């Protein structure tokens, strides 16, 4: 295979912007795809699969002084029943994503779909997304690799397990404030409707 010029970079598979300062992609990266990561100015790499990153990716993380959080290794459990991932993995992953000091942050797993898609789906649930929108996003990345058990896990995940860090990113704070305002507006409309019926 012909070697590519030094200036050539390639976007990693399943790469996307999740929110400002939070990215996702497959953890199986070529040398050209690793070069692309330089454009992100990463502070943290969140590894969700049990398998570690490739030697080239590990060397890149070390050489750039990027914090490596290998939750797939530390939070792996052998007996989860029907659950595709552990709740501890998702809880700790969300708490890391929501720490503003960890940004820019890259989420990876071996496929770029299963664990990553589940974590992002649970983030969307924490952001009060409609469940149909969460599933649509999950399936748009998963393609034929998606599994119903991952969608079910997202639906049943208890967001109360997540401890919100002190330094939340702006996009999360603004989203929560907007949701609270919408809930208050709905409550006020319902209250006025009840008053009209009663009078």
Q: What amino acid positions are annotated as catalytic residues? A: 109
Question: Do residues 107 and 119 touch, judged by C-beta distance below 8 A?
Answer: yes
Q: Give CA–CA dist 141/24, Å, rounded.
A: 11
CB 140 within 8 A of CB 38: no
Tell me how far apart the alpha carbons of residues 181 and 11 are, in angstroms, rounded to a whole number: 38
Half-sphere exposure at residue 72, Cβ-oriented, CA atoms within 13 angstroms: 22
Q: Which residue has the tokens 């006025």?
A: 192
Query: Which H or E element spans position 197?
Result: helix 170-198
Q: Which residues of 25-57 are buried (b: 16+ CB within 10 A; e: fewer)?
A: bbbbbeeebbbbbeeeebbbbbbbbeeebeeeb
């Amino acid at each position: 295979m012909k070697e590519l010029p030094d200036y050539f970079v390639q976007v990693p598979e399943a790469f996307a912007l999740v929110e400002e300062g939070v990215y996702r992609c497959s953890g199986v990266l070529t040398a050209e795809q690793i070069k692309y990561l330089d454009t992100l100015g990463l502070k943290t790499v969140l590894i969700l699969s049990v398998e570690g990153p490739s030697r080239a990716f590990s060397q890149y993380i070390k050489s750039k002084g990027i914090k490596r959080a290998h939750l797939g290794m530390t939070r792996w459990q052998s007996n989860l029943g029907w659950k595709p991932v552990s709740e501890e993995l998702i809880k700790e992953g969300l708490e890391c994503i929501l720490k503003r000091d960890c940004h820019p942050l890259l989420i990876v797993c071996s496929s770029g779909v299963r664990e990553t898609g589940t974590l992002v789906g649970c983030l969307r649930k924490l952001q009060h997304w409609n469940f149909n929108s969460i599933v649509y996003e999950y399936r748009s990345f998963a393609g034929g690799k998606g599994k119903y058990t991952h969608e079910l896990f997202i639906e049943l995940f208890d967001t109360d397990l997540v401890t919100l860090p002190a330094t939340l990113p702006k996009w999360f704070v603004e989203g929560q404030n907007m949701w609270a305002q919408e809930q208050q507006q709905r409550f006020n409309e319902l209250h006025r409707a009840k008053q009209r019926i009663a009078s």
